[in-house]
Amino acid sequence: MSIAFSHNPASDYLRVRNAVRHFNTPEGGVVKALDGINLNIGQSEFITLLGPSGCGKTTLLKIIAGFERLDSGKITLDSQTLLELSAHRRPVNTVFQSYALFPHMSVGDNVGYGLEVAGVKKPERVQRIGEALEMVGLAGIEKRLPSQLSGGQQQRVALARAIVNRPKVLLLDEPLSALDRHLRMKMQIELKNLQTELGICFLFVTHDQEEALTMSDRIVVLNGGKVEQLGTPTEIYHRPASRFVADFIGESNVFEGKVVRFDDFGADVQCGELLIRTEDRNLITGSAVEVMLRPEQFTLLDSSTSAAGQQVLTATLEQAVFVGSDHQLVCRLASGQQISALVRGHCHHLQVGQPLQLAYSSADVHTIPAVF
């Protein structure tokens, strides 16, 4: 996929080349946990690995950390080959999903463990432990045991324990998944700030797409051990490279069709009875494509608004759900296909079964090459 190699010059600090890791299952099958992964990551990027359960996220982190071997492929960090180094020699640190704090050591000893093992002298160690704890907002709890902390505090200690060593890359495996929603959102912001402050590369695993979209500089979407797409949150959201990405990130309306006409300004795609206009200029007549529209790209037309310069779909309303400031509308097209639209403002006058005019701009229509 060409977009996976989209290059910006600073982004070959951490390079993964053709990483392959297959597992033999007890049932006699083979799981392709990693199936030819390529990544180029910059020195101070916040990268999120996003994908469904079992797509290989944890496996990739373990391989970078040195807890899992690679069948074939290459990983370099700062021009240094990683794979020959055993885990304890790699300049990377991990924040584990379950935190994995040392239960028999105080918070201070936990945080200072890496420094102590590295032979840092006590006065400097104490100072750096204090600084790291302060960074995560837990100054002054050095004496406590991990069991005397809340889940969120343990998570921060795990974070402090990792960053105090000033790793070149920080690996985070779903570190926020055990936290409640409120704390999670708070920690998302803090993590992002911390990363900016430290200026080191964060490789963050999540299967929460919202989390990925809010925090990342770039997102790696993984599926079945392959990179589906690597791009900025906006790219991933608005220009998904595949149907999988379109479906996985956010809600989307996807129509399968064929290009029936193209000109200098875009193309017309025939999707069943529907003719959809797009401004994608790289399409040629006869090619099969999928077109995608996000629910929020529709506007609801009524008698007072005109559709000047916009395309219009007619659909029957099946359900309207109030979601805070917006209404989530589920409608059905004449072709039988269901579409969903997110419209602003109050829609109390809407009734189930009533026909609606949904307008969209052809500039918003994203096309995905159909794969057979």
Applying CB under 8 A, the residues found at the interface with another protein are 65-67, 86-89, 92-94, 96, 98, 100-104, 113-114, 117-118, 145, 147, 161-162, 165
Cβ pair 97, 174 in contact under 8 A = yes
Closest CA to 169 of 269, 260, 61, 96: 61
Should residue 58 be labelled a site residue for ligand ATP when binding is judged by CB under 6 A? yes
Stretch that binds ligand ATP, among 8-16, 23-31, 250-258, 273-281 (CB under 6 A): 23-31
- Whichever of 58 and 94 has its CB closer to ligand ATP, that residue is 58
Strand 288-293 and strand 326-333: the pairing is unpaired
CB of 83 to Mg ion, least distance (A): 21
Q: Quick one: what does residue 54 bind among ligand ATP, Mg ion, another protein, none, with the CB cut-off 5 to 8 Å set by partner type?
A: ligand ATP
Residue with tokens 């906006």: 234
Should residue 58 be labelled a site residue for Mg ion when binding is judged by CB under 5 A? yes
Q: How far is CA 202 from CA 210, 213, 287, in A?
A: 17, 15, 40
Q: Quick one: what does residue 88 bind among another protein, ligand ATP, Mg ion, none, with the CB cut-off 5 to 8 Å set by partner type?
A: another protein
Should residue 327 be labelled a site residue for ligand ATP when binding is judged by CB under 6 A? no
CB of 75 to ligand ATP, least distance (A): 16
Stretch that binds Mg ion, among 56-64, 67-75, 236-244, 299-307 (CB under 5 A): 56-64
Determine the Cα–Cα distance for residues 337 and 119; give it in Å rounded to an integer. Answer: 65
Give the contacts of 302 (CB within 8 A, at least 6 positions apart): 357
Should residue 317 be labelled a site residue for ligand ATP when binding is judged by CB under 6 A? no
- Whichever of 52 and 355 has its CB closer to ligand ATP, that residue is 52
- Whichever of 161 and 184 has its CB closer to another protein, that residue is 161
Q: What is the DSSP letter of 146?
A: G
Should residue 207 be labelled a site residue for ligand ATP when binding is judged by CB under 6 A? yes
Should residue 53 be labelled a site residue for ligand ATP when binding is judged by CB under 6 A? yes
CB of 237 to ligand ATP, least distance (A): 21
Strand partners, 366: 292
Rg (CA), the chain: 25
Should residue 19 be labelled a site residue for ligand ATP when binding is judged by CB under 6 A? no
- Whichever of 248 and 360 has its CB closer to ligand ATP, that residue is 248
Stretch that binds ligand ATP, among 55-63, 110-118, 160-168, 364-372 (CB under 6 A): 55-63
Determine the Cα–Cα distance for residues 87 and 205; give it in Å rounded to an integer. Answer: 19
Helix (H, G, I), strand (E, B) or coil at 266: strand
Strand partners, 220: 49, 230
Residue with tokens 């004449």: 334
- Residue 258 φ/ψ region, left for φ over 0, alpha for ψ in the -120 to 50 degree band, beta for the rest: beta
Closest CA to 318 of 356, 292, 346, 348: 356
Should residue 57 be labelled a site residue for ligand ATP when binding is judged by CB under 6 A? yes
- Whichever of 92 and 329 has its CB closer to another protein, that residue is 92
Should residue 175 be labelled a site residue for ligand ATP when binding is judged by CB under 6 A? no
Buried b (16+ CB within 10 A) or exposed e, 214-231: ebbbbbbbbbbbbbbbbb
Residues that bind ligand ATP (CB under 6 A): 23, 25, 31, 33, 51, 53-59, 207
Residues that bind Mg ion (CB under 5 A): 58
